[in-house]
Amino acid sequence: MVSADDFFFRGLNIPGNTSNPQGSVVTFATVDQFPGLNTLGISLVRIDYAPYGLNAPHTHPLASEVLLAVEGTLYVGFVTSNPGDPNIKYKLFTKTLYPGDVFVFPQGLIHFQLNVGKNNAVAFAGLSSQNPGRITIANAVFGSDPPINIDVLTKAFQVDANVIKYLQGQF
């Protein structure tokens, strides 16, 4: 039975634990944690960053994102989609955000945030889906199970197999 609790979420005021290799943590308020979002096409996250913490390059295949910097200084950016012409490079769009600044990441594009300050940083993001999905690029490419064939990755990244083995070993 549906109750008022299905339309309520508590916890975005609580700082997350950033003691991990990336120095960041995302607290999700998506349909999985917040059932009242079902069919509404929206969700929310809190992102905490340790000094120099990174929300690693990732994509949301099902949502655009609008990020609000609340504390600290964040270097943020996204890369355009495939330009279609092999002679045209992907374009990187970046900004440095301060408290109160907002930046938007279009749906499906690879994006990131890096805390460039000596203090903790906090941001909140709204997403245009109750279930935006998240694909962290390095984890997907180098940490899949089973692993992607080394021949595929050496050719794709044009590096020696030892580099690929090293990168796969990080995940």
Strand partners, 139: none
CATH superfamily ID and name for 4-133: Jelly Rolls (2.60.120.10)
Q: What percent of the chain has pLDDT over 90?
A: 95
Residue numbers belonging to the annotated binding site for Mn(2+)? 58, 60, 65, 111
Residue numbers belonging to the annotated binding site? 55, 58, 60, 65, 111
pLDDT of residue 122: 99
pLDDT of residue 39: 95
Taking the CA atoms of residue 118, residue 66, residue 10 and residue 4 in that order, the dihedral angle to the nearest 10 degrees is 170
Residue numbers belonging to the annotated binding site for oxalate? 55, 60, 65
Q: What percent of the chain has pLDDT over 70?
A: 100
Residue type, 147: P
Domain parsing of the chain, residue ranges: 4-133, 136-171
Instruction: Give pTM, 2 decimals.
Output: 0.93
- Tokens coding 27: 């607290």
Q: What is the pLDDT of residues 136-163, one digit of tens each?
A: 999 999 999 999 999 999 999 999 999 9
Q: What is the pLDDT of residues 58-107, one digit of tens each?
A: 999 999 999 999 999 999 999 999 888 888 899 999 999 999 999 999 99
CB distance 54 to 36 below 8 Å:
no
